[in-house]
Structure 1
Amino acid sequence: MQSTTGTLYLVPTPLDFGCLPDGTPPAPLTQCLPASTVVVAARLTHWISENAKSTRAFLKRVDAVNGLAAPLQAQAIVELPRQAHKKGDHTPAAEGDSQAKALLAPALLGHDIGLVSEAGMPAIADPGSSIVRAAHALGLPVMPLAGPISLMLALAASGLNGQGFAFVGYVPQEANERAKRLRELEALALKTGQTQILIETPYRNTALLQALLQTLHPHTRLAISCGLMLPQQVTRSALVTDWKSRSLQQGLPLDAPAVFLIGR
Structure 2
Amino acid sequence: MNERKLLVIPSNLSSEFAARSFSKDYQHEIFSLKHFVVENERSARRFLRQLGYPGPISELHFRTLNEHTTADELNDLLNFIAQQDTGLLSEAGCPGVADPGADLIALAHSRCIQVIPLIGPSSILLALMASGLNGQRFSFNGYLDRDKNRRKRQLQQFEKESAKENRTQIFIEAPYRNKALFNAICSTLHPGTVLTLACELTSKKEWIKTKTIRDWRKCEPDIHKKNTVFLFLSRGFKN
Structure 1 segments of 4+ aligned residues over 6 angstroms from their partners = none
State how far apart, in whole Å, the 2-side matches of 1:236 and 1:118 are: 25
Letter in 1 for 2:21: C
Bigger drift between 100-109 and 234-243 goes to: 100-109
Structure 1 173/52 Cα, relative in aligned 2: closer, same or farther at 3 Å?
Answer: same
**Alignment check: 8 A CA contact 2:179 2:223 kept:** no
Q: 1:35 to 1:157 in 2, by over 3 A?
A: same
> Which amino acid in the other structure matches residue 130 of structure 1?
D
RMSD: 2.1
Candidates 95, 105, 130, aligned match of 1:122:
95
Normalising by structure 2, we get a TM-score of 0.89
CA distance in 2, matches of 1:43, 1:158: 37
Question: Partner residue of 1:187?
Answer: 160
Q: How does 1:1-264 map to 2 (within 5 A)?
A: 5-16=3-14, 26-27=15-16, 29-62=18-51, 65-68=52-55, 71-80=56-65, 82-84=67-69, 96=71, 99-109=73-83, 111-244=84-217, 247=219, 249-250=220-221, 252-264=222-234
Alpha-carbon distance in structure 2 between the residues aligned to 1:123 and 1:199: 14
Task: Name the amino acid aligned to 2:215.
Answer: D
SS of the residue 2:125 aligns to: helix
Q: 1:81 to 1:228 in 2, by over 3 A?
A: closer
What SS is found at the alignment partner of 1:104?
Answer: helix
Q: Is the 2:19–2:50 Cα contact (8 Å) retained in structure 1?
A: no
> For the residues of structure 2 that align with 1:81 and 1:219, how far apart are their CA atoms?
39
C-alpha contact (below 8 Å) 2:2/2:111 kept by paired residues: no
Residue 4 of structure 1 and its aligned partner are, at CA, apart by 6.6
TM-score, normalising length: structure 1:
0.81
- The answer to whether the 8 Å contact 2:30/2:87 transfers is yes
Q: What is the percent sequence identity of the aligned residues?
A: 34
Q: Contact 2:131–2:208 (CA<8 Å) still a contact in 1?
A: yes
Deviations 1:18-52 (A, max 9, x none): xxxxxxxx425323333233222111101111111
Q: Which amino acid letter does the alignment assign opposite residue 78 of structure 2?
A: L
Q: Which amino acid is the alignment partner of residue 103 of structure 2?
A: S
Instruction: Report the Cα offset of residue 162 of structure 1.
Output: 1.4
Q: How far apart are the structure 1 equivalents of 2:172 and 2:78?
A: 30
Number of aligned pairs? 234
